Amino acid sequence: MAKSPEAPPAAMSPGQRLRAARRERGLTQEEFAAEIGVSRSAIAQWETDRAGQIRGNLLRIVEVLGVSLEYLLYGDDKRAPLQAASGDELAMLRLYRELTPEDRAILLQTARRLARGG
């Protein structure tokens, strides 16, 4: 049974995560296949969870898609919370690191208040 595109990554199959990551990067199956060095039909097989020759290509796949192997296979990447997810998040992290300890405490207090909705 196919999962909806809004399903959390852990609820998706590896093929669905592969398809979602490819689309997120704006790649067609043909473009992705060319970057990996396989046929478009191989990509179609992988995205529908038919094995094909995916094992020998896993490292190249995660490199091209910019995802971890753990994410692709299991939908979970324990390192992800340690990495900035967007440019804004990275900018906030850089600014935070430039603050004095006192200002960091103020920023954290403000952020916690805002996250609680008030």
The alpha helices in 1-118, defined as continuous H runs, are 14-24, 29-36, 40-47, 58-65, 69-74, 87-98, 101-115
pTM of the model: 0.58
Neighbours of 63 (CB within 10 A): 11
9, 75 Cβ separation under 8 angstroms: yes
Residue 97's pLDDT is 86
Q: Which residue has the higher pLDDT, 19 or 3?
A: 19
Q: Is the pLDDT of residue 90 over 50?
A: yes
Residue 70's pLDDT is 85
CA 118 to CA 112: how far, in whole Å?
A: 9
Residue 5's pLDDT is 47
Give the tens place of pLDDT for each residue, 50-83: 877 788 898 899 999 988 888 888 887 665 555 6
Mean pLDDT of 33-41: 94
Residue 3's pLDDT is 42
Class of domain 9-80: mainly alpha
87, 95 Cβ separation under 8 angstroms: no
